[in-house]
Amino acid sequence: MLRFLIGLFLLSSCSLGVKKSGGESPYVYDVFSQYSLDDLKSLSPHLVTTLSRDPQQGKLDELFSKKQAPIKRVGILVFESMLQPTISGLSNEDKIFLSEQGKQLLTERLLSIWEESFPILANGVEYVKVSKIKKSQAFKTDGSTVEDYVKTKRQSLAADDIFFLPPGKKITMATVLNPRGMRDLSLAFVPASELMAGPKFSEHGKHTLNEVAKELNLDAMIVVMNKINWTASRIDKHSGEIIPEEVVIKIDASVLIPLSRYHSRMNQLGQKRDLPNTTIAYRSYESMLKIPVLISVPDDLQKFEYIENELLAPTLKTYNDLSQMVELRIIDDLKRTQE
């Protein structure tokens, strides 16, 4: 109930005065196509929705005008994932499930995709790697240490990490996962990304973000939430709707400005008194892709090799493309502050 009430509050607080652009063509992606960088640039405005909202004081157009300091140096503060989540602790009809270590390994694979592509795409924007952020003193002061479920040195998923299960079997209750070494900034079982991200000003995590940004001289920090789930074909017992066999991939991200940089920008506008001690979102981004997969297969195919080749491979390929489209939108907006 607490999580529901907090979510309802966040939803209502985010919706007023929000400007949206892009994201009007969510189903033009073809998983079998090998997209070039130019293709992804062309697709990104259609598949990624950009959101913005003026903060409590000041307007975004004035706070990020040509007279203000550009955003040149950024890093990721929060990187979370919700992978095939369940709330009952039991497997259902969707057949594909992950252990805690499987979710952690897959989360780290998703982060590595961002870490590999962002510096290549970010011409004119300096990207500070998560490994450097994790070593900063300010990063270690808040939140809690992320539990390390992977007890051996490995990066690839194995048969005990992701598997077929019939309905009714006990599975992991872990839903929100962070990479090892990150800080969990969640509150009351609500993911940090829900509390901090979106096109709004935010009180949550403001000191963490501000101190890390000051220590590493970052102009902004990025918060990312990934949601991936596989669905087997069935008829929804409530709506009667036919649910297709597919993988649904969602990426939400926000570019947050620490309160000290917010105040500096307000000072440039001649306002120096009674300034809000909050972070503000320069922009937020929402994206989703659904691609067909075949999950309901005979028992002799229900093996890790099938999951690896027929489910994980298209999922990661699609995630790679979608994450780059989100990154391209972020980078394009950051470079607007440099013009």
Query: Which DSSP string corresponds to 98-148?
Result: E-HHHHHHHHHHHHHHHHHHHHHH-TTSEEEPHHHHHHSTGGGSSSEEPP-
Q: Looking at residue 31, what is its pLDDT?
A: 92
- Beta-carbon contacts of 250 under 8 Å, excluding residues fewer than 6 positions away, are 225, 226, 227, 228, 286, 287, 288
pTM of the model: 0.93
Distance from C-alpha of 79 to C-alpha of 223, rounded to nearest angstrom: 6
pLDDT at 4: 47
Q: At a CB cut-off of 8 Å and minimum separation 6, what does 39 contact?
A: 33
How much helix, strand and coil, in percent to the nearest 5, is found in the chain?
Answer: 35, 25, 40
Going from N- to C-terminal start, the domains of the chain cover 2-336
Instruction: Select from 45, 75, 113 the least CA-distant residue to 256.
Output: 75
DSSP state of 228: E
Residue 339, pLDDT score: 80
Output b/e per residue, 135-146; b: 16+ Cβ within 10 A: ebebbeeebeeb
Please state, in angstroms and rounded to a whole number, the distance separating the CA atoms of residues 196 and 252.
Answer: 12
What's the confidence (pLDDT) of residue 88? 83
Task: Identify the pLDDT of residue 260.
Answer: 96
Do the Cβ atoms of 25 and 47 come closer than 8 Å?
yes
Q: Judge whether 292 and 15 are in contact, CB under 8 Å.
A: no
pLDDT of residue 73: 97
User: How far lies 181's CA from each of 23, 96, 137, in Å?
Assistant: 33, 27, 13
Q: What is the pLDDT along the chain (339 residues), one digit of tens a residue?
A: 445 445 544 544 456 789 999 998 777 899 999 999 999 999 999 999 999 999 989 999 999 999 999 999 999 999 999 999 887 889 988 999 999 999 999 999 999 999 999 999 998 899 999 999 999 999 999 999 999 999 888 889 999 999 999 999 999 878 899 999 999 999 877 999 999 999 999 999 999 999 999 999 999 999 999 999 999 998 887 888 888 999 999 999 999 999 999 999 999 999 998 999 999 999 999 999 999 999 999 999 999 999 999 999 999 999 999 999 999 999 999 999 988
